Amino acid sequence: MVKLPDVTLIYVLVAFVICYAVLKKHLFRPLSRILDEREADAREAERVYAESREELERAMTEAEQKLSLARREGLKTREGLRAEGIARLEENLQKAREAAARQLDVAAREIESQSKSAAADLPGRARALARTLAEKILGRKIAA
């Protein structure tokens, strides 16, 4: 009996080629396209992230500069107001000192006049008091 050659290897090769063609058309190409798109999207996202980061850094630098400028202006304003307040305080203190000096002068003159009046009145009062004491001690009226 004659044995036919084994053709299963050919069938396997044909099946492999057909399967490869079907898989290539319906799996490998779409999957490759999806992976390529994904990679392109990732690169685009990386580029957008880098641009956003640069924009954020620029905005932060600009905000810090504006904040620094505002801080300097605030300090200048505060120092100006402080100097103005100190000047007003000194002015008010000077006015208060002048008013106090005037009041002291008035009080000193009043005390001086009362002192002179009391000094002038004192000898007469001392005599009257001495007479009153002498009358009480002696128990009788004394002639002037």
**Between residues 91 and 119, the one the model is more confident about:** 91
Task: Indicate the pTM of the whole model.
Answer: 0.46
Q: What is the pLDDT of residue 88?
A: 96
Q: What is the pLDDT of residue 70?
A: 95
Statement: residue 34 has pLDDT above 90: yes
User: Please, how many CA atoms are within 13 Å of residue 47, restricted to the half-sphere of its CB?
Assistant: 6
Q: Mean pLDDT across the stretch 111-116?
A: 89
Statement: residue 72 has pLDDT above 90: yes
Q: How many CB atoms lie within 10 A of CB 35?
A: 10
CA-to-CA distance for 50 and 35, rounded, in angstroms?
Answer: 22
**Between residues 56 and 1, the one the model is more confident about:** 56
Statement: residue 144 has pLDDT above 80: no
CA-to-CA distance for 112 and 116, rounded, in angstroms?
Answer: 6
Q: What is the pLDDT of residue 44?
A: 96
Q: What is the pLDDT of residue 116?
A: 86
Determine contact, residues 135/141, Cβ cutoff 8 Å: yes
Tokens of 52: 């956003």
Q: What is the pLDDT of residue 17?
A: 96
Q: What are 74-107's pLDDT values in tens digits?
A: 999 999 999 999 999 999 999 999 999 999 999 9
Closest CA to 131 of 142, 123, 140: 142
